[in-house]
Amino acid sequence: MTAAFHPTDPGLQWQRFCDLLWFDDGLGVWLDVSRMAIAPAHLESLRPRFAQAFDAMAALEAGAIANADEQRMVGHYWLRAPELAPDAATAKHVAAEVERIAAFGREQLAAHRFTDVVWIGIGGSGLGPLLIVEALGTVGRGLPFHFIDNVDPEGISHTLAALGERLRTALVVVVSKSGGTPEPRIGMEQVRRCLEALGGHWSQQAVAITMAGSRLDQLASQQGWLERFDMFDWVGGRTSITSAVGLLPAALLGVDIHAFLAGAAAMDCLTRRPQLEDNPAALLAAAWFAAGEGRGLRDMVVLPYRDRLAVFSRYLQQLVMESLGKRVDRQGQEVHQGLAVYGNKGSTDQHAYVQQLRDGIDNFFVTFIEVLEDSGGLPAINGEQPGDVLEGFLQGTRSALLEGGRQSLSITLRRFDATALGALVALFERAVGLYAELVNINAYDQPGVEAGKRAASAVLDLQQRLDGLLADGEARSLGELQQQLGTDSPESLFWILRHQAVNDPALQVQGHWGQPTSLRFSRA
Ligand code: PA5
């Protein structure tokens, strides 16, 4: 595809802007892809691929096994339009779950029983809730949130210390679709120990969000936890924000979850349009395809010009990279697809890495996100209104990039609220789905994540067996340990023991750390 990018001709650029600007008055959303390397002729050439992509998305929404590798349906679109679910029982279940979540949120806020929420979950079970809290939380409304999304001992301690006595009166939500991920399980055990030491009552304070029948689900029902909400088999972690995973934090913040779902549903309607130019998700996917030549050769830098949307950059990083970063296509051919995403917020980043974007290596395109309505109630001082200044900086960076021949696209929201967030999320979800069809990959599995989980669990198993072996007090070299444990990785043993040597005073080490074969280990 030949690039059709004319950064230096203002007349032509204005014409492109008028031709390629998409707008929906109902949602108050503009999308401008005119500064990307696409032209009407390119859209023409992509039309046949898009026809297939629209058909594939229609089949997916109708309940096809779109995630063939995991033999699963892909149904996040049903979460905001339950009537589209493939059977009446699912539709009824989804709708009932929304009302149960809304009622639970209302009851907890009215009862003033809990002072805080501790949210334990990683990946899709952590980032969506974090986005909801950062983007829609307002000081003084709803419950304050604390996240445990890692097993960094310092991070967990820090969160527990910051909570202090308030942990005794906190609602603890443990989220894991599979119910078997080690990080949330370990976080949960640490929080539970601390909560009970403070005199709290775990089962009366704990809520689970997980798939029916998972290990976490079984634990929650055996122990009679306060509540449990469903994560459906057909919803992936990274697209779970319109399930209980995103709705529960919203409800506990006092946010109108129906407005959030309505925004997503409205954008779903707009992005089902079969005409490329009328469909904002298709325009986005086409722009990504053109910029990266269908091989992800350009990274996406996300620059939301709102502090509360800074975490949206991280959210998109997971949604896009976990979905599109795949080794093989649907036919099993090696393709190594992907679209790298990074970013934080404007105009802050203008004073950091934007220098390279303007003048350095041209391996990216920027996604600007603007909100027109200014809130915060700050006065103009010396004729300067912070909102106007922010808009000026956005335009400045946009122009500077154009002058440097760098690509960018812009999404503008008339105002930012729960409806707008729902629409924004749904726009990117569909763009990811369409792009995956264009490049013929499964966007809904995550074999790399699963491989990482399996490899980590093998190391955890090795740690335990190593501890058992060293319990006899005998000194052994890495080679002897390797042989006796039947592992093919002395390097893994080296890593485990190096970490333990710093933290476990009972581990005796002889030899030199720079010469691994000289080392001998024993436990006193
Ligand atoms: O999007 C995904 O599928 C992953 O990021 C998962 O959300 C993450 O690995 C956590 O998994 P689980 O919710 O099963 O604990």
CA distances from 261 to 79, 241, 385 (A): 8, 10, 33
Examine residue 334 and state whether it is found in any structural domain, yes or no: yes
Residues 162 and 25 in one domain: no
Q: For ligand 1, what atom is nearest to the CA of residue 322?
A: 1
pLDDT at res. 5: 60
Kindly report the number of other CB atoms within 10 A of residue 355's CB atom. Answer: 11
CATH code, 183: 3.40.50.10490
Q: Does residue 237's CB lie within 6 angstroms of at least one atom of ligand 1?
A: yes
Distance 510 CA to ligand 1 centre (A): 41
Cβ-contact 303, 369 below 8 angstroms: yes
**DSSP letter, residue 166:** G
Same domain, 234 and 184: yes
Identify whether 126 is part of a domain: yes
280 falls within a domain:
yes
Nearest CA to ligand 1 atom 5: 123
Residue-by-residue DSSP string for 271-335: TT-SSGGG-HHHHHHHHHHHHTTTTT-SEEEEEESSGGGHHHHHHHHHHHHHHH--SB-TTS-B-
Residues of the chain with pLDDT under 50: 1-4
Give just the sign of the alpha carbon dihedral 240, 244, 247, 248. negative
Ligand 1, atom 8: closest residue by C-alpha: 123
Residue that terminates a domain, selected from 228, 255, 282: 255
Does 67 fall in a domain? no
**Could you say which of 385, 417, 444 is where a domain stops?**
444
**Contact 240 CB / ligand 1 (< 6 Å):** no
The predicted-structure confidence for 430-469, as pLDDT tens digits, reads as follows 999 999 999 999 999 999 988 888 888 899 999 999 999 9
* Total structural domains within the chain: 3
**Which of 70, 130, 149, 177 should be mutated for ligand 1, with most atoms under 8 A from CB?**
177
* Residues 438 and 462 placed together within one structural domain of the fold: no
| Cα–ligand 1 centroid distance for 146 (angstroms) | 19
Compute how many other C-beta atoms are within 10 angstroms of the C-beta atom of residue 134.
17
Q: What is the pLDDT of residue 453?
A: 84
Print the domain residue range for 32: 10-61+271-444
353/94 Cα distance (integer angstroms)? 43
Residue 323 CA to ligand 1 center (angstroms) comes to 12
Site to probe by mutation for ligand 1, drawn from 178, 316, 444 as the one with most ligand atoms within 8 Å of Cβ, is 178
Q: Are residues 46 and 151 in the same domain?
A: no
Catalytic residues: 322, 351, 453
Query: Would you say the CB of residue 126 lies under 6 angstroms from ligand 1?
Result: no
283 and 406, same domain (yes or no): yes
What are the strands, taking DSSP E only, across 53-205?
Answer: 116-120, 145-148, 170-175
At residue 113, what is the residue type? Answer: R
Please choose from 72, 122, 185 the residue to mutate so as to test ligand 1's pocket, defined by most ligand atoms within 8 A of CB: 122
Tell me if 178 CB under 6 Å of ligand 1. yes
**Statement to judge: residues 248 and 209 lie in one domain:** yes
Nearest ligand 1 atom to alpha carbon 239: 1
40 burial level (CB within 10 Å; 0-12, 13-18, 19+): exposed
Check whether residue 472 and residue 435 sit in a common domain. no
pLDDT of residue 7: 63
* Same structural domain, 344 and 492: no
Report residue 338 as tokens.
Answer: 């992907």
The residue whose C-alpha atom lies closest to atom 9 belonging to ligand 1 is 123
Structural domain contains residue 66: no
Query: In terms of domains, do 326 and 438 share one?
Result: yes
| Residue 2 pLDDT | 42
Structural domain contains residue 199: yes
Task: Find out whether the beta carbon of 469 lies less than 6 Å from any atom of ligand 1.
Answer: no
480 and 414 share a domain? no
Tokens representing residue 321 in the block = 């990279």
Q: Which of 444, 477, 495 is the last residue of a domain?
A: 444
Model confidence over 15-32: pLDDT tens digits? 999 999 999 999 999 999
Q: Does one domain contain both 331 and 462?
A: no
The phi, psi pair for 114, rounded to 5°, reads -110, 145
Alpha-carbon separation of residue 159 from 165, 248, 258, 477 (angstroms): 12, 21, 31, 39
Residue 177, ligand 1, Cβ within 6 A: yes
CA-closest candidate to residue 17, choices 399, 319, 507: 399
Residue 264 belongs to some domain of the structure: no
The reply to whether 25 and 117 lie within a common domain is no
The domain that holds 459 is classified in CATH as 1.10.10.10
* 123 within some domain: yes
Alpha-carbon distance of 443 to 323, in angstroms, equals: 4
Give the start-end residues of each E strand in 191-248: 206-210, 227-230
A 10 A CB-CB count for 494 gives: 16
Give the pLDDT of residue 3.
47
